[in-house]
Amino acid sequence: MNIFRLTGDLSHLAAIIILLLKIWKSRSCAGISGKSQILFALVFTTRYLDLFTSFISLYNTCMKLIYIGCAYATVYLIYAKFRATYDGNHDSFRVEFLVVPVGGLSVLINHDFSPLEILWTFSIYLESVAILPQLFMISKTGEAETITTHYLFCLGLYRALYLFNWIWRFYFEGFFDMIAIVAGVVQTVLYCDFFYLYVTKVLKGKKLSLPA
Amino acid sequence: PDSQGNKDEL
């Protein structure tokens, strides 16, 4: 464990909690892409199956359970409890265009052709593009609530910090995982235009609105 | 690269 990975995990946890509280407190999921949240639940489900096969540490197990629990709770709030506030018309990204290619790629390019490893690879590839429906929805509505931008900032920051974690681990442990690194770079690059808008607008107290 | 080593990451 290193400082980049720890702050990355905490940033990820903060994002997940911010979103869950935003929906719960405001009793509304306006502006939130339910499709992205389903993809994240799928990412955690396929990545954390090793909860049943190996114990790494209490921290590792607890965080995985929290991530999975919050992900499904968020999906439940969006599609069940507060479904009346779900903006399905703007959440129109064709997720099959993500899941199918990612599924194919995870079968073609992986470290080991075993079920758990392919599912882990699938979750790594899927996570790198899982935010696209959310970013697409913001581009369609042309704006985002400020709390949603904080959620996205923490979510984007987490994988950016993981990139530093991998640099650290390569330098100090001689360890690297090309699949996780390439997917992590793609994932972080997808946030770049959002990061720019967040820093130039939201941090200056303005509302995040895109030129429609 | 040892992908098993990566499984200690979230």
Report the chain A residue with the minimal C-alpha distance to residue B6. Answer: A177
Task: Collapse the DSSP code of A26 into the 3-class scheme (helix H, G, I; strand E, B; otherwise coil) and give the result.
Answer: helix
- Cβ-based contacts of B10 with chain A (< 8 Å): 9, 12, 60, 63-64, 67
How much of chain A exceeds pLDDT 90, in percent?
Answer: 99
Domain boundaries, chain A: 1-199
Residues in chain B within 8 Å Cβ distance of A54: 7
Q: State yes or no: pLDDT of B3 exceeds 70.
A: no
pLDDT of A2-15, one tens digit each?
999 999 999 999 99
**Residue A212 pLDDT > 60, yes or no?**
no
- List, as ranges, residues 121-160 from A with C-beta within 8 Å of B: none
pLDDT in tens, A72-127: 999 999 999 999 999 999 999 999 999 999 999 999 999 999 999 999 999 999 99
DSSP state letters, A51-104: GTT----HHHHHHHHHHHHHHHHHHHIIIIITGGG--TTT----THHHHHHHHH
CA distance A73 to A70: 5
CB contact under 8 Å between B10 and A112, yes or no, is no
Residues of B in contact with A175 (CB under 8 A): 1-2, 5-6
Query: Which tens digit of pLDDT belongs to each residue from A146-174?
Result: 999 999 999 999 999 999 999 999 999 99
Beta-carbon separation of B5 and A177 below 8 A: yes
